[in-house]
Chain A
Amino acid sequence: MPQFEQVSVFGSLIFWSVISFAILFFLLKKFAFPPILDALDEREKKIRGDIEESEKLKQDVEKIKTDLEEKLRDAHGKAETIVQLAQDEAKKLQEKTVQETEAKVKQVQREAEQEIQSSRSKLLQEIRSYTAALTIASTEKFLKKALDDSDKKRLVDESIEQVIQELEKSQRN
């Protein structure tokens, strides 16, 4: 095998490979590895930072979302209360109006009844006076014809009395 037979070249092979490795090591260590390792670290840091930031933003968004939902719920609640209040108010107002109208109607009714009552009694009065006059007139005529006829007089009285009673009775009703 030449690797064991060519002993004379060992010196140069060892010398140049060690020297070349040393130069390669020096060059790479000085110029190549620091920037590459830095770039790796920097990227790692950046990715880590970005992920952390996005995580934080996500949390913020979550918080804002819950806040908004809570606010929305509050607003809904408030709106419902307002609607309820308005309904209550409207109901109250309606009831009040109805009551007032009823009261007014009742008063009008009462006034009308009173008016009717008064005009009726007035009418009755008139009727009574007419009847009285009529009775007096008819009685006079009866009296003129048969003054002594007591039965007739009594009949007349009775008839007047009956008329008045009936009038009064109807007036009471």
Chain B
Amino acid sequence: MESPLHHFEVHTIVPIHIGGLDLSINNAVVAMWVGLAVICGMFLLPTKRGLSLIPGRLQSVLEIAVEFIRNLVYEFIGEEEGRKYVPFIASLFLFILACNLIGLLPGSYTITSQLAVTGVFATGIFILTLIIGFSKHGMHFLGILVPPGIPKVLIPIMIPIEIISMLARPISLAVRLFANMTAGHTVLAVLFGLAMTGPLWLGWLPFGFTVIINGLEIAIAFIQAYIFTTLTCVYIGDVIKLH
């Protein structure tokens, strides 16, 4: 039986080496591009044709998606401050959603199941929140390490705790997405392996489960994209509001 983790292996398709860096195009990158191409097509073609006041089906879907993200941003960051973050948050949501969903196609690859990728995005968001915090509040931003209303005696203890909790944010953000995607695909691979290796009178059972788990995975693809973007909004909102 094939290893259920086998499909997480990356195969180089077009080797590119620039100055000792391996920037080869591999199956993970190609799958991601397919997903992003779908997103681009969905969003760019109708907007290029021009949107109408009475929306068609596709326009309704796009508007619901954007409005959903906009409301999310307004809820956690606030309408005044949040307006300029809507494109970034929406792009992030669509990027993660596209990568999650495209990975469900057989033979493709879920790039969000790579901790290196989710880690870079989570770290990038963490750095972004620091930049927003310092540019907005200056050195007062360090006040985020001291929760309001605590006794002065506790401050030396609280500051390290707060630093740890701040640093835990990108880690949890990265690991959550990576683990969910990896786990789902592993479960699917195990069930498929059982279905393929078992005799037909037994094999239909795990196969039936793969159908159900696939449906669940579609939901998880949406939910994880939603959680990632919601937490991003929460973190940005935190550094803007400072508690």
Contacts and interface: CB of A to CB of B under 8 A. Distances in A.
Interface of A: 1-4, 6, 8-18, 20-21, 23-25, 27-29, 31-33, 35-40, 42-43, 46
Pairs A-B, 3 closest by C-beta atoms: A32-B43, A29-B87, A25-B91
A11 B94 contact: no
A138 B47 CA distance: 151
Contact of B28 (A1, A13, A29, A33): A13
B40 interface: yes
A13 B40 contact: no
Interface stretch (B17-25, B192-200, B209-217, B229-237): B17-25
B130 interface: no
Interface in B17-65: 21-26, 28-29, 32-33, 36, 39-40, 43-44, 47-48, 50-51, 53, 55, 59, 62-63
A35 B16 CA distance: 38
Given A16-B32, A40-B67, A43-B53, A9 B10 contact: yes
Nearest to A4: B115
Contact of B36 (A14, A24, A40): A24
Contact of B32 (A8, A20, A27, A33): A20
B114 to A, nearest CB: 5
B59 to A, nearest CB: 8
Interface size class of B (residues with CB under 8 A): 35 or more
Given A20-B29, A35-B51, A39-B53, 9 more contacts: A3-B8, A11-B21, A11-B22, A15-B21, A16-B25, A17-B111, A21-B92, A33-B90, A36-B66
A11 B86 contact: no
B61 to A, nearest CB: 11
Contacts of A36: 43, 47, 51, 62-63, 66
Interface of B: 5-6, 8-10, 12, 16, 21-26, 28-29, 32-33, 36, 39-40, 43-44, 47-48, 50-51, 53, 55, 59, 62-63, 66-67, 70, 86-88, 90-92, 94-95, 111, 113-117, 120-121, 124, 178, 182
Contacts of A24: 36, 39-40, 91, 94-95
Given A40-B63, A40-B67, A42-B53, A15 B23 contact: yes
Nearest to B42: A32
A11 B12 CA distance: 12
B5 A1 contact: yes
Contacts of A12: 16, 22-26, 29
B186 to A, nearest CB: 9
B178 A3 contact: yes
Contacts of A18: 120, 124
B41 to A, nearest CB: 11
Contacts of A43: 53
